[in-house]
Structure formats: C-alpha cells, structure tokens
Chains A and B, each alone.
Chain A
Amino acid sequence: MSTRLATGGRLLNTDIPVSFTFNGKTLKGYAGDTLASALLANDQMLVGRSFKYHRPRGIVASGVEEPNALVNLGTEGTFEPNQRATTTELFDGLRATSQNHWPSLEFDVGAINAKLSRFMPAGFYYKMFIHPRPLWKHVYEPFIRQAAGLGQAPKARDADRYEHFYAFCDVLVVGGGIAGLTAAKAAAASGAEVILLEQTAHWGGRAPVDGGHVDGAPVDKVVDELVSELSDMSNVTLRLRTMGAGVYDHGYVLGYERLRDHAPAQDGPRHRLWRIRARHTITATGALERPLSFAGNDIPGVMLASAVRDYVVDYGVSVGDRTVVVTNNDDAYRSALALKQAGLDVPVILDARVPAFDSPLIEQAKAAGIRILMGHGVAKVLGGKRVTGVAVCAQAGEGAVLEEIACDAVAMSGGWSPVVHLWSHCGGKLHWDNDFAMFRPDVDKAPTGADGSPFVSPAGSANGHFGLAEIIGDAHAKGRSAAQAAGFASSKRNAPDGESVTEAPMAPVWLMPQGAGIALRSKAWLDYQNDVKVSDVQLAAQEGFESVEHAKRYTTLGMATDQGKLSNINGLAILSDALDQPIPQTGTTTFRPPYTPISMGAIAGEASRELFQPIRRTPLHDWHTANGADFEPVGQWQRPYAYVRSGESVHDAVMRETKNVRDNLGLLDASTLGKIVVKGPDAGRFLDMLYTNMMSTLKPGKCRYGLMCGENGFLIDDGVVARIDEDTFLCHTTTGGAENIHGHMEEWLQTEWWDWKVYVANVTEQYAQIAVVGPNARAALEALGGMDVSKEALGFMEWADGTLGGFDARVYRISFSGELSYEIAVKASEGQAFWDALLVVGETLGVMPYGTEALHILRAEKGFIMIGDETDGTVIPQDLGLHWALSKKKEDYLGKRAHLRSHMADPTRWQLVGLETTDGSTLPDGAYAVAEGHNDNGQRNVQGRVTSTYHSPNLNKGIAMGLVLNGPDRMGEMLEFPGTDGKIYAARIVNPVFYDPEGDKQNV
C-alpha cells in the first residue's frame, strides 16, 4: 500500500495539517502536499478510469505530464473538470471527485469495454458505426455522445475573475530549475531586464531531488542562493506558479499564472494571462521521463521511476512497501537508492541493458544490497486494481516467465525526453540523438523573429543535457548569449562548476520484452488516457496510416488532455519499427500551444459580462432606460427595440408605436446613424466614385439617397447625402456601417486617389439626431418655434440650419417611413434637452417615442430596403429594382465594371418583390420558396427567399419582402414557403410598396 513515511518530505510543512475530500470521503494531508501526494499518503492509488475501456487508473507521474489523475475540483461556480491531481496544491477544504465511471470508481459498468477490447481496436469507431447508415444518427451517435468526454462540463457560471497582464523584457526564461536560474542570473548580470517563470510552486526543478554539487555546495543550497540573489536584483522579475504556455511569432510569449488555485480564500483574480514580448526567450523547460511499454504497465501502482523518487523525497510518501524498478538507463537507480534510504524494499532492479561497465550508480545500488538483473525486463505486471507482482523475463526473448516477484509498486524508466514544446511552437527544429534515444533542439534551426535572427534558445536538459556540469555550463552560456542578442554586453563571469556523475549509456527499449507477442502487446499501453496500446499503433501502420499525423488521429495517440507528453515518443518509435524506418524519418507530430491546458477564463481575461465588448450609448440612453426601452444591439450600439409600457408585451408596444407614427407623431433616436463629413475641392468627384448615383450635381441645401457598392459590385451601404456647401458633403450611413464606410473612404483616398484633395471625418458621435415623424410632425416643430419648416421653406429632400425652440439645429426633411418627417441634428450635449422639449410640445399632438422594430415595419410598409436584410453581401442594386440609382452618365464608379460580369448581368438572378399571405398571417423570416423537383443532395429546389417579414398594424396583415426568381414578372403568382415548424406557408407575389404607393403622405 502507499502511505506517509515518518520522516522526509522536503516540501511538506507537517505543522499544518490540511483536510480535504475525495469522492466525499474526508482525508488528511499537510501544507505543501499536492492532491496526488496526499491521495497516495491515504493509500488512494486508484484515481480514475480510462476513456475507452474504463480500466482502473492510478497516479503515474508527479507533474504536468500526468495522464490519469484527472479529477473534478470544486462545486457550483468553482467547479472545474479534468484538473491534474499532480499539479493541484492541497488546501484546506479542497473537494475532489473522480471522473469517467458509473456508478462508482471501485465498480464501473463501463469496464465491460475492457473485456471487449479485442473487438475495439484502432479505428474501431470508424469501422464499426458506418453501416447501416440510419443507425448512426439514431442509435450509435446518441450512445457515443453519452459515453464521450472526460469529466462533466460545469453548469454554473464561473464565480471567479481573470485578468490579462502585459509585460516586456529583454530576456524571458521559462523554467525555474537549476538551468533556468543559472541562465537568468547570467542574463541579468549584463543589466538586461529578465523575467523568470516557473510553473510549479517551487524553484529548483528536479535538481534538489536528484542531488549533486555545484562549486562544491549541495545543489539545493545553490538553488536557494540563486533565488535570493535574483530576488535582490531590480532588473529581474520572478514568478512561481506561472507556466510558459506558448511561444508565438516575433517574441510573443503567453504565461499562465495560477494566483489562487492553491488559496481560494484569497481575494483577487484566479488566473492571470501574461502577454509577454521578449527580445529573447530561453526555454529551460527540463525533460520528462518516458514510460516503458510492457504488458500491464497501466495497472495502478506502476509509476515513473522519477515520480516514485519525488513522492519519497518531496512529500515523504511511499508508493509501495516493495517496489520493483525496471529501467533502460542509470537514472532509475537513483529512485532505487532513494527508496532504500527511506527504509523501503526494492526486491530487484530489472535493467534491460547489459552495460559494458558498472557506473557509479550501479555500484552504489550493488553496495546497498539491491539485487540487479541485467538484460531483464517485465513480461507482465500482475494485479488488477493494484500491482501485486511482476513476471520477469529476458529482454531479448519473447517473454517466457523466468520468475515472479511479489511487489506492490513498479518504478519504470524508459529514458528522458527534453521538453521541446516551447522551442517547437514557433518553428524550432529538432534532431534525433541516438545516444539518448530522444529528439533534442537543433540549435542551428531556431525560430526566427521580425529581423530574421533567432529569438529562442533552449538550455539545460530541455536542450538534451543531463549531467549537472553540462546543464549549468549550457544554461550559463545561453543566459549570456541571450542578453547579447537583446543588445547587452555580456558579463565575463565564468559558469559555476557543476559536478556530473558518469553514467552508463542508456539503451533504447521501445517494447519489453523485445519479441513480445500479440497477447502482451495488446496489454502494453502507450497512451493511458485515450487507451492506445502498442498493438493499436502497429495495426494503424498495417492499415496504411503511415504518416505520424495520420496514425495519431486514427489511433487517438497523444490526443488526450495530456497531449501525449508520456506517449508520443514511445508511440512513434513503435510506428517507425512497424514501418521499418528510422525514427527521425517518421518525425514527430506538431507541438502546439498551450503546453498544458489553460483556463478559458484566463484567455477571456476581463472581457466577460459587462466588459465582454464595448457598448456604445446614445446621448438619450438614460432616458430610454428609464422609459421601458427593450434594447437590441446594432453593431456595438444599444438601440431601443420598443418602449414597453406596463401591462404590455413587447409585441404590443411595437404595434402601438408603429400605428401611432402613421396616426399622430413619433420620435426616433436616430443618433446612431453614421455621419461622415467629406470635404475638399475633389469631394464631389470622390463621392461620384463611391456612390452608384451622381452626387457632384447635388445642390447645396439638397439631399439625395445614395447606394454604395464595393469594387466587386455588391451593395455595402446606403443613406442620404446632404450637400452642405460647394466643398462639403455630409454622408449618412447605416448604424452598423459608419466605421467600415469611413475606413472604406480612407482606403480609397490613401491607396488609390491619394492626389485628390479630400478629407473625410467620422462625426457620428458629435450629434444627437432625432427623427420627428408623422402627420403632426410639422405642428410639433412649429410649436417649438424658430426656423421656418413649412413645405415651401423646407421641401422634401432639403435641409436647413436654424434654431428650434432655442436649440441650434440642422433639419433634414427626409423620410424612411413615408410620413411627413424631419431628422433633426443637435449637439450631442443638447440631445436630451431637445428630446425633452419635443415631448413637451408633442403632448397634445399624440407624441410617442418609437423603437427600431417600428422603424423596420414602417419602412417595410413602404417597400424601402434595409442593408443587412434585403442585402447579404451577394445582392446588387439591380436585384432590388434600384436601377434608377445606377448612373449612366458617370464613366466610372466602384462596382460599375463588376456589374458587367456575366453572373451579375444574368437575367435569372433573384429579384425583390413583396409577399403577402392569403390569410393575413406573417411569413417566417428567412423561409425559402420551393420550386419543382430536387437537387443533387435530394433537397427541394428553391426559387426565392423571405428577406423581411412583419405584421403591419396599419394594414392589419402580414407583409413581407423577398428575393424571387423573375419575381417582378410574376405578380400575383402563389409561392410555397415550408417553415421550420413543419407548416407550409402560401404567399402571393405583390408590389413591395404596401402603403401609400403614391407617396402623398410625405409630400405635405
């Protein structure tokens, strides 16, 4: 069993006991524990079930590479699935539950899958569920979806907050082990600004566990001194619990800081995303130990040798009383010795190698009285939910069992792989190192930055160096050269003198035993989380998935939340062997950020809730809010959809407002409409190019409706243009289009017609603009008093400056409703006062404010198009019957050439018509009119679609507009529109102008 030892535990504070729960059971640990070490101290080796076969899974590792020990943490607003127990610091009150089992962790019905595993090989889902086709949709997919996914999605809203942090430095060092600390010091000595990030809560990495001496001092003391020296330097920023998540173009690096995961009672943000720009980045990210592939290597109690050592040394936890060590390298001997030193039993070291000499570590193991079997390995692990022993075999054979050795833990080591992720994220290349059987950074092929020079350097074991002397020498050199690359004179100081122990060469072992038959291979796990075995990768190769990227996706190797940190190298070695080609030829899959999963909250930062996006409010916003406005977003603006009175539904309000405009008087806050001033001697010429119709002939004091197309001929915007004086125009745009159209104007002025004398300015927010609409509109303005707004003084499509009720105003007599209508612009700061004044004079005239939905219905009654409803980026003016707005006099305007293209001139394009149901009901929005026959996909052919549809309270029936094949020539014809509700709506093609087709109401 696993248990807490009476002594040891470098990181523990045994004076502070901590209480936590796992699956509802209360357990004890100490401050300094991780959830994993505390679970092991309580003999909770079984922590989860695997994804596919629901096999029992125990803790394998002690750090970020852990594939199995994923738990649900927290409750309600702090609930989060898939949290690694090995990187979760224990705190009082922590609540964890295990995942992927039903009904319980100990007894899981899904484990029946394991019995069927012979029938569920690689690609099982693809092969099994494809036939017969209908079963996929109705049987297989619902079942698989039920079973899919690790953990549960949180249901409650995240109660925490998150933030982004921008940082700039000369040298960024990722990894606070002995290499990172050494590199940071060497860089900082030059005066460079240095940031050093360490993902765990402790400095020093593996060095304090592995031991050794630097300049004659024990390495753990050296770490303490380095940290204290760096802390005292003003040009150095140190951050624990901050992972270098990704390296991106031109020196951009993301850091992921976990501020409160270990102390949820503290105030402040939970996570912080560091957005760092570094002139040079050093990846001192260490190395990860590889598992060995032998049968039963997934049984709880089989662990990485380095993890077994970590639990003993760092946390005073024994993972078993009797631990068999199986290895292909010297490093695992350190684990055996650490166990011995803690008074635990190591019955045997199974070393797959036959070394030519006894290295110091082998000698020490022998001296400690440990039995060593050279050239041997594990035939299979005995046990179910826990290791009970190992069957020993010769590594060279096929797995004939030589003896069985009882044990309750197995410490395995397949060698080490440098963590090359951050080096590789932005294009750093790798090469294969035969001596250590690993990929290491090819330092001559580094990622390059904006100026073409390398901006990432690997250091220490991340660069493939494993002896303390080599690690420190490399890190010191990299720190100096990084500072130099960032423009600092490097310090002359020599590297500290690390002491390396001579090790016997490791031997690559990709399968144990070497000649393992199918029975053993199909129990030898590569990817623990996704249940991929040696036999699966071999099958994939056999079936032709030869590219490593294909084999990965076919088998799902390395696609779990751990992204194959343990499995990738072993898997591609098996693939290479199956393809009979060298490993470097197979290559690796792509390393993509983030290094380990980071929270969605950290990515969002502050951009959630009310800060999700900027909100634009008009000068009248507060009045709207106080008067029942039901807001809708239009672009980033908040516009009142309708003003709902008590006892009314939103629909009731819309109907009331729409009717009142036609009967009495409506006020619309039109401040959001884009207002762009175009000024200069060439302003007219410029607008002639931008609008499809002629603007240069417009007289000062007059307004003209204009259409804008892009160069490809499609409609992009519309609005009323007013000529202010000879050199000045004011262009109204749609609410959502103002910024884009302003940008569009700037683009043409700056990049094509840069010699034209024109300025443009977006003055949208400088004015409050209020539409005064309805039969009583003139009476209202006359009641305000001031300028002459009579028919004679201010005709339709004219504008004038003057005063109204004492306000400086610019009055446009334009109409988007077909009513007598004035749009009045006043200074933004006077908008509310002017609105109030209109309400006072309007009281006896039946005034009501109206919202955007009434605006829509009013314009639809008149057959006026709306950009974004009748247009969708594929519609040209000709489709909408707007030929009159296409100037024939102008030689050129944007879109003119495009309208001549064959598809644009095609007479079978869908065209605008009105649509009217026979029973007065309202057509569903976006519905398609069906035609005879079916297309190649077996869908009904279509001949048109609804673009706008409303219930008109003025006509007391449903009205709609749509684009229909040959529509204008088919007046009176009936069309059928199947709705998503299963009903078929019949509608007649009619003229799109439903109301006052003669235009009498606006010309008064």
Chain B
Amino acid sequence: MLILTCPCCGQTGEETEFHAGGEAHLKRYGPGSSDIEFEGYMFMRENPKGVHFERWRHVYGCGKWFHAARCTMTLEVFGTYPAQTLSPPQELRDKISEKRPGWSWRDFA
C-alpha cells in the first residue's frame, strides 16, 4: 500500500486516503477533433514499465487533485506536484534522470 505526499496540503498519507485517477497530462479533444484524436484522448494510455505520471486525488484529505511521478516496477515515488500544469516540473524531471538515466515518457524526458 503506497505512501504519497499531497503537494497541496503537505500531508503524507497512505493509499486508502487517496484515489487514483489514471494517467496524467492528457490533452482534451472535444467537438471538432478527428476520430483518431478523440480515441487517443479517451482510450490510449502509456502503460509503461518504469517511470510513469499519474493523477491522484487527496479524496479523504484536502480534496485536491495532484500528479505523482512513480516507478511502476519498484513503486518508488519520485515526487508529487499540483495538477494545474501541462508538464512535470523541471526539478522533478532532473531528479528522475538521476535515478533512471535515459528515461522518457511521451514527450517528456
């Protein structure tokens, strides 16, 4: 059972306090988008072995959504950051590079 730290309220809690919300940094495609774009937005996911970026909500705490960078193999948590962003903070990306040199995830590396 994972331990996560909510970047919004600063509390560290265990998984039962949070709710997982799937992959992070999805771009929304609405009316006017092609079938391929909409399919990609709705259904296509990375499912990586290794570095991954996910959405979580501190549902039994402050209620805020945030993002977590995590290793799906070892379950190591590299860091968490607020959801109001389009990309992981550079500082966190550097930290992941130290631990997992050469990592990449979608367009991030």
**A residues with CB within 8 A of B:** 248-252, 277, 427, 448-452, 711-712, 743, 746-747, 750-752, 754, 891-892, 896-898, 900-901
Contact = CB atoms under 8 A, between A and B. Distances in A.
B53 to A, nearest CB: 13
A450 B77 contact: yes
Contacts of B21: 747
Contact of B31 (A427, A743, A751, A896): A896
Nearest to A739: B59
A248 B1 CA distance: 6
A184 to B, nearest CB: 24
A747 B57 contact: yes
A712 B29 CA distance: 11
Given A249-B75, A747-B65, A750-B65, 15 more contacts: A251-B3, A448-B74, A448-B76, A450-B2, A450-B3, A450-B75, A451-B76, A746-B57, A746-B63, A746-B65, A751-B65, A752-B28, A754-B84, A892-B31, A897-B29
A899 to B, nearest CB: 9
Nearest to B19: A743
B71 to A, nearest CB: 8
A892 B32 CA distance: 9
Interface string B55-87: 101010001110000010011110000011000
A750 B63 CA distance: 10
A451 B3 CA distance: 10
A432 B38 CA distance: 51
Interface in B82-106: 83-84, 99
Nearest to B55: A751
B76 A750 contact: no
22 contacts: A250-B3, A250-B75, A251-B3, A252-B1, A277-B14, A448-B75, A448-B76, A450-B3, A451-B77, A452-B71, A743-B59, A746-B63, A747-B57, A750-B64, A750-B84, A752-B28, A891-B31, A892-B31, A897-B29, A898-B38, A900-B31, A901-B35
Given A747-B65, A750-B65, A249 B29 contact: no
Contact of B2 (A249, A427, A711): A249
Contacts of B99: 452
Contacts of B2: 249-250, 450
Contacts of A712: 42
Contacts of B28: 711, 752
Interface of B: 1-3, 14, 21, 28-33, 35, 38, 42, 55, 57, 59, 63-65, 71, 74-77, 83-84, 99
A251 B75 CA distance: 12
Most chain A CB inside 10 Å of its own CB: which residue of B2, B31, B64, B71: B31
A449 B77 CA distance: 9
A254 to B, nearest CB: 10
Contacts of B74: 427, 448, 452
Nearest to B63: A746
A746 B84 CA distance: 13
A711 B42 contact: yes
B86 to A, nearest CB: 11
Contacts of B3: 250-251, 277, 450
A489 to B, nearest CB: 24
Nearest to B99: A452
Most chain B CB inside 10 Å of its own CB: which residue of A448, A452, A892, A897: A897
Contacts of B77: 450-451
A38 to B, nearest CB: 40
B67 to A, nearest CB: 9
A897 B76 contact: no
Nearest to A892: B30
Nearest to A250: B3
A779 to B, nearest CB: 45
A205 B109 CA distance: 52
Nearest to A252: B1
Contacts of B83: 750-751, 754
B104 to A, nearest CB: 19
A743 B65 CA distance: 10
A5 B77 CA distance: 59
A688 to B, nearest CB: 13
A578 B7 CA distance: 56
The 6 closest A-B pairs by CB, nearest first: A452-B76, A250-B3, A750-B65, A754-B84, A252-B1, A892-B30
A897 B14 CA distance: 37
B51 to A, nearest CB: 12
Contacts of A754: 83-84
Nearest to A754: B84
B68 to A, nearest CB: 11
Nearest to A755: B84
Contacts of A449: 76
A250 B63 contact: no
A891 B28 CA distance: 15
B1 A250 contact: yes
Contacts of A251: 3
Contacts of B35: 901
Most chain B CB inside 10 Å of its own CB: which residue of A427, A450, A896: A450
Nearest to B1: A252
A164 B28 CA distance: 43
Nearest to A453: B76
Contacts of B65: 746-747, 750-751
Given A249-B75, A252-B14, A897 B31 contact: yes
Contacts of B63: 746
A567 B63 CA distance: 50
Nearest to B33: A897
A873 B55 CA distance: 23
Contacts of A896: 30-31
Nearest to B78: A452
Contacts of A751: 55, 65, 83-84
A751 B54 CA distance: 12
Most chain B CB inside 10 Å of its own CB: which residue of A277, A452, A746, A892: A452
Most chain A CB inside 10 Å of its own CB: which residue of B30, B33, B42, B55: B30
A900 B32 CA distance: 10
Most chain B CB inside 10 Å of its own CB: which residue of A747, A750, A752: A750
Contacts of A901: 35, 38
A248 B3 CA distance: 11
A752 B65 CA distance: 11
Nearest to B67: A751
Given A747-B57, A897-B29, A897-B31, A249 B1 contact: yes
A277 B13 CA distance: 11
Nearest to A712: B42
A452 to B, nearest CB: 4
A892 B38 CA distance: 14
A891 B33 CA distance: 12
B23 to A, nearest CB: 12
Contact of B30 (A250, A427, A452, A897): A897
B101 to A, nearest CB: 14
A898 B76 contact: no
A746 B21 CA distance: 13
Nearest to A452: B76
A900 B31 CA distance: 9
Most chain B CB inside 10 Å of its own CB: which residue of A427, A711, A896: A711
A991 B64 CA distance: 46
B58 to A, nearest CB: 11
A452 B98 CA distance: 12
Contacts of A448: 74-76
A713 to B, nearest CB: 10
A427 B1 CA distance: 13
A752 B1 CA distance: 28
Nearest to B8: A750
A47 B98 CA distance: 60
A518 to B, nearest CB: 45
A711 B99 CA distance: 36
Contacts of A452: 71, 74, 76, 99
Contacts of A450: 2-3, 75-77
Contacts of B29: 897
A955 B33 CA distance: 49
